[in-house]
Structure 1
Amino acid sequence: MRNPVTFIARLAICVSLGAGAPFAAATAQSQAEPGMAGAFLTSRVAVTNNDFAQMAASHDQLLQSDPDNPGFLELSMQGHLLAGNFERAVERAAQITANGNASSVANLVMQADAFDRGVYDVAIAALDDGVLTGPLTDPMARAWADLGRGSMSDALAAFDVVIAEREELAPFALYFKALALAYVGDLERAESLLTGEAEGPIGLSRRGVLAHIAILSQLGRTEDALELTDAMFGAAPDEDIVDLRAALREGRAIPFTTITSASDGMAETYFTLASALPAERGDWLPLIYARLALALRPDHTEASLLAGELLESAEEYDLANAVYDQVPVDDPQYLAVQLAKANALARSGDVSDAVASLQNLARERPESVLVHSALGDQFRREEQFEQAEAAYTRAIDLLGTIEERHWVLLYTRAITLERLGEWERAEPEFRRVLEFVPDEPQVLNYLGYSLIDKGLKLDEALGMIERAVEAEPDSGYIVDSLGWAYYRLGRYDEAVPVMERAVELMPTDPILNDHLGDVYWAVGREREARFQWRRALSFAPHPDMDVEQVLRKIEEGKTPPDAVTDTQ
C-alpha cells in the first residue's frame, strides 16, 4: 500500500507557514518603543524557548504600543494557538487578515474558525478569493464545506478532482472521501474505498483501521470486523481494542463516530497532517495542526495524545498535561492518555508524582500489562531495581502467552535482574529474548559485555558484541563495548582504533573518553591518556563516572587490570 507519510513529508516544503521561525520578532525589533524593551526581550526568549503562553503574553503587551505591527500580531496569534487559546488566536488572525498582511497561519485559523462556527459559505468564499492555506487543506476544506452545505455531489466532485489530479495527495483524498460516504450512510461504498481496491491504495492509520472496523460492524459483517481487528492489532492489543473486540464478539454494533459532521471532517484533515509531518524541535507546524483539530473537535483523543507528545517535545509539560486532563475517564483511550501524562510528569522532573500516578493506575487497572510495564520502566530509570523487577514480573505474569513482540519487556526485566546482581536469573532471561530476536544489537551488546565483564563464555560473548557492531556500526555505545571488551581481554592494540572510533561517534560522552584514556595508558601513550581523562572530566558529571577516580588516574596513571580469562 502507498504510505501517505512519505508523500506528506514532501508537502512540508510546499506549505511554508513560517511557523517555527522567530522571524516576526526580528523584523519588529526596531519598532519596539524604549519602554517596551523588557517585553521585547521577554518575547524573544519565549520564542526561542518554545514558551507559548509567554510568547502570547509578551506580544500582546508589545501590541499595546504598536497595535498594527504584523510581526507582533503573528507571534501573538501563534502563541495563543499553540498554548490552546483558539478564540484569542482567531481574534489576532482576524486583525492580521483585516490589515491585509500575508499569513498562511492566519488563513488556517480563519478557515478553522469558519468550520467551528458552521459557516461553510464563508470557508468556500475565502477559497474563491484566493485565501490559501496549503495544498491539502484547501481542496479538503472545499469538499468538507460542500458537505456541510448539504451538497454531497459537490463534495464528492471536490474529492475526485484531487484523486485524479494529485497523485501524491490521492491516498488522503480517498480516505476522507470514504469517511464522508460513511457519514452520509453509504457504508458499502465507504468500505470498498477503505480496502484500497475500489479506486486506489490507502495507507490507513490506526484511526483509519478503527473506522473501517466500525463500518464493517455497521454493515453486519461482524466476522470480517473481527478478522480485521485480529490482523491489525494482534492477540494482546491495547485495552481499547480489547473492549472493541469483546463488543464485536458479543454481537454489538460498533458506532461510526470517526466523523459526525463536516467540521469533524476538517478536524480529521488537520489531524492527519499533524500526524504525518515530521516533528522537529523549533518546528511548530505539526502542533498548529493538532491544536486546530482539537479546536474543531475537543473529543479527538488521538489529537490530544499527539498534541501532548508535541508539547512534551517542546518541554511544555504543563500544557501537555492540560491537554491530557481534557480526556474523560470513560474514553476508550483514557489509559493511554494517563500513561502519557505520567511520562510527561517524569520528563518535567516531577518523578514522585509520575510514580504516584502510575501506582494509582496500577490499583485502578490491576490487570493492565501496559501500566505495570510503565511502572517498571519508571522505577528502573530511577535505579529502584527491586521495585522495577516486581512491576516487570507482574506485567509478564499477566501476559499468559509470551510472543516475539513482548521481547522488550523481557529485556528490560533481564537488565533489572543484572543490575540487582542476580546474574543466575538474568542470563537465561537475556537468552530467552535472543530466541525471539536473535540479531537484536542492543541485546547482543548487553549480554556479550556482561559475560566478558564476568569472565564467562568469552569467545561467545565477543562474537555477540562483534555482531552488534556489525548491525549498528555507528552506535557509539556499542562500538565502545567492543573496544572495552578488547581492553578487558588484554588485547590493547586492537582496542585502540575501536575506542577511537567510539569517541569519534560520541565525542562529548565522558565515559567513552575515559575509556579511551585507559586504553591509551595500557599501550604506553601516557600523555594522550591524561588528555582524554581531562577531556572526560570536562564533560562531567555523569552518573556512571567516578570523578575522584579519574582525578587519581590523571595524577598517578592506571595499571591495566589483569586480562579476564574464561571462568566457565
Structure 2
Amino acid sequence: MTDRAGRMISALTAMGLLFGSVALPSPGLADAGPYLAARQATMDRTFPELAVYATRALAGDPDNPVLLESVISSRISMGDFDAVKGYASLLKQIEPDNQIAAMAHLTLLARSGDYEGLVVALDEGESISAVVDGLMRAWAHVGLGNMSGALDLFDQGAGMGQGFENFGAYNKGLALALVGDYEGALATLSQPNMPQSRFSVIARMEILSQLERNEEALALLNDSFGEGPLDLELEHLREALAEGEAVPFDVVHSARDGIADVFFAVASALDGGLDDAYTLLYARIAEALRPEEASYVLSVATLLERLENYDLANQALDRIPADDPAFPVASLARAEALRSSGKTEASLEVLRQLAKSHPELDEAHTALGDALRRQEDYSDAVKAYSVVIDRHQPPTRGQWPLYFTRGTAYERMGEWDKAEADLRQALALEPDQPRVLNYLGYSYLEMKTNLDEAMEMIRKAVEARPEDGYITDSLAWGLYRLRRYDEAVEPMERAVELMPVDPIINDHLGDVYWAVGREREARFQWRRALSFEPEEDEANRIRKKLDIGLDRVLSEEGEEPTRGGNDG
C-alpha cells in the first residue's frame, strides 16, 4: 500500500466511514442532534442519511474538516458528484493537501474534460496516491494531444511498486491503441510480465482484429476464457471474430475513459483487501467518469450490496439498459439486492421477467428456481429447474447441482420417487459429493429405510467435511435412529460445538441425552433449543417433551420409546 493510500485510510477512519467513529460534538455546540445522527448513519453505513445529517451539522460548524470529509465521501459513495464541488473547494482551503478534497476536485476536472486544469492541479500538489496521480497526469497529456509527454509519463510508471509495476505499461498500451498505433499497443500489452485481466485480453483481441489477425484473436479468446459457452459480451466477440469482422477497439474511447479505467483497476486491486467503503470511492469515480460502462456499474452495485445499501445498489443497476450484454448479470444482481433488502416479491418478479426475456439463459431459470424454493413454492421451482435440465441431455458433470436442488424440491413436495431419482443422478454425475450424500442419507434415516446405505453415505460425507455441523448431526442422528444411543453422544455433542445456535441440532442432542438417561441435560438442551426460535411446530413438540418427556411423546406419535415405559 502506498503512503498516500495509508493516509487516505487514516482520513476515512477519522471521519468514521471505515470504522464507525464520527467525532462527537464539542460542548459549545447547541444542537448535537445532527452530529449524533451522522454518527449513527456512519455506523449503519447508510450514505444518504450520513450526507443529510453531516450537511445539517455543518450549518453550526461550517469549517469542520471532518464534517466536510463526511459530506464529500458520502456524496461520492452515492454517486452524487454534482453536490461535492463547493464542499471540496472549502475543504481544500482549510486543508490544502486533503485527499478527499483532491479526490472530488480531480474527478470533476476529469469528468468535464478540463485536462489542462487537471495537470495544473496535480502539479500544484493535489494528490490521491502516487499511482493514481501519475497515471491521471499521463492520460491528461493524452487528452491534450501531447502523446510524447504522455508516453514518457506512462514509462515512469514502471517504478510505481506496491503491486502496480505494470500499470504504466498497461495504460500505455491502451493509449497507443486509442491513437491508432496498434502495432505498438500490441507489443506493449503482450510483454511477458503483463498481468492478464478480462480487459487486457479483450484489448489485445480487439487490437489483433484491427490488424486483420482475427484467427489469432479468436485463439486468444478461447485460450483465455475457454471454448465453452461464455457471457453475452464474449459470445458477441467470438461470433464477430469467427465471421471475419473488424472488431473496433473500444476498451477506451477517450482520455477520460483511460482515467476511469485507472480508478476501476485500483478499485479491483483493493477489493477484498481493504474496507469496502474505501474501495467504493474508487469504483464510484470510475463509474462517474464512464457511466455507460456496465462492468463499472456492476462493481459499484456489488460493493453497495456488501455495505447493505440495497436501494443505492438497485439505483445503479437500473441504469444498465435491456440491450446491454451485461443486462442479465445486472438483473440477477438486482434480484439478489431486492431479496437481501426483504423485497421478496419484487426479487421474484425480476427473475421471472429475466427468464421470460432471456429464455435461453440457464442462469435465469436456475436463479428463479432457487428463489422459488426458498419461498417453498416447490412445484414452480421444479418447473424452473426442469427447463435447464431438459435442454441439456445427456447431463454433464457440472449439472449435478441442478439435479440436487430439483431433488430437494421434489422431496419437499412429497414426491419421493422423483426426488430419489434426481439425488441418485446427482451422485452419478459427482460421486461422493458430501451435500448430496448427506441429504440422501438423512432422508433415508427419516423414512427409516435403507439404513445401512444411509449410514455409509453419511460417514463418507463426514469424512469429506468433518467441520460441517449439519453433516455431523446427520451421523449422530443416524446412530440414534439405529438405537445406538451411547455411540450417538459424541458426534452429536460435536455437532453442537460446530453449530452452537442451531435449534434442531440442540434439540437432537437433548433427545440423545434423554435416550442415555441424562434427563437433566436433555431438558437443558431442549430449553436451549427453544431459545434459538425453532419453527412453531418444532417448538410445540419441544415444549411437550419438556412437559411429559420424550418417551411419552414418541408413544403418542406411534413411535417406539427410547427406554420402555419411562414417562419422564
Tell me the TM-score normalized by structure 1.
0.88
Given candidates 205, 208, 211, the residue that maps to 2:203 is: 211
Partner of 1:555: 547
Deviates more, 1:305-314 or 1:186-195: 186-195
The answer to whether the 8 A contact 1:490-1:563 is kept is no
TM-superposed deviation, 1:544: 8.2
Identity in percent: 41
Task: Describe how 1:157-236 pairs up with structure 2 within 5 A.
Answer: 157-164=152-159, 166=161, 168-195=163-190, 198-204=191-197, 206-231=198-223, 232-236=225-229
Question: Does 2:53 align with 1:58?
Answer: yes
Question: Does 2:26 align with 1:31?
Answer: yes
Structure-1 separation of matches of 2:6 and 2:209: 40
Given candidates 331, 349, 362, the residue that maps to 1:356 is: 349
Given candidates 282, 292, 313, the residue that maps to 2:306 is: 313
Task: Describe how 1:59-208 pairs up with structure 2 within 5 A.
Answer: 59-100=54-95, 103-164=98-159, 166=161, 168-195=163-190, 198-204=191-197, 206-208=198-200
Partner of 1:257: 250
Please report the RMSD computed on the Cα atoms of aligned residues, expressed in angstroms. Answer: 3.0
Structure-1 separation of matches of 2:324 and 2:421: 40
* CA deviation profile, 1:494-525 (whole Å, cap 9, x unmatched): 32222222222232222222222222222222
Structure-1 separation of matches of 2:409 and 2:106: 52
Partner of 2:385: 392
TM-superposed deviation, 1:235: 1.9
Deviates more, 1:418-427 or 1:186-195: 186-195
The answer to whether the 8 A contact 1:476-1:503 is kept is yes
Amino acid at match of 2:346: D
The answer to whether the 8 A contact 1:499-1:516 is kept is yes
The answer to whether the 8 A contact 2:208-2:214 is kept is yes
Task: Describe how 1:290-369 pairs up with structure 2 within 5 A.
Answer: 290-369=283-362
* CA deviation profile, 1:57-76 (whole Å, cap 9, x unmatched): 11111111111111111111
The answer to whether the 8 A contact 1:462-1:482 is kept is yes
The answer to whether the 8 A contact 2:206-2:217 is kept is yes
Structure 2 unmatched runs, 5+: 563-568
* CA deviation profile, 1:532-567 (whole Å, cap 9, x unmatched): 221121121x44861111111222221376699xxx
Question: Does 2:540 align with 1:510?
Answer: no
Structure-2 separation of matches of 1:253 and 1:562: 76
Partner of 2:277: 284
Given candidates 475, 487, 500, the residue that maps to 2:493 is: 500
Amino acid at match of 2:542: V
Structure-2 separation of matches of 1:174 and 1:511: 57
Given candidates 440, 446, 461, the residue that maps to 1:453 is: 446
Structure-2 separation of matches of 1:496 and 1:466: 16
The answer to whether the 8 A contact 2:404-2:436 is kept is yes
TM-superposed deviation, 1:297: 0.6
Q: SS at the partner of 2:32?
A: helix
Amino acid at match of 1:226: L
Partner of 2:399: 406
Amino acid at match of 1:273: V
Task: Describe how 1:394-543 pairs up with structure 2 within 5 A.
Answer: 394-399=387-392, 402-540=395-533, 542-543=534-535
Deviates more, 1:410-419 or 1:126-135: 126-135
The answer to whether the 8 A contact 1:121-1:145 is kept is yes
Structure 1 unmatched runs, 5+: 1-7
The answer to whether the 8 A contact 2:14-2:66 is kept is no
Structure-2 separation of matches of 1:307 and 1:148: 26
Tell me the TM-score normalized by structure 2.
0.88
The answer to whether the 8 A contact 1:270-1:293 is kept is yes
Q: SS at the partner of 1:284?
A: helix
Structure-2 separation of matches of 1:399 and 1:165: 49
Structure-2 separation of matches of 1:178 and 1:437: 44
- With over 3 angstroms needed to count, the CA separation of the structure-2 counterparts of 1:516 and 1:298, relative to structure 1, is same
Q: SS at the partner of 1:175?
A: helix
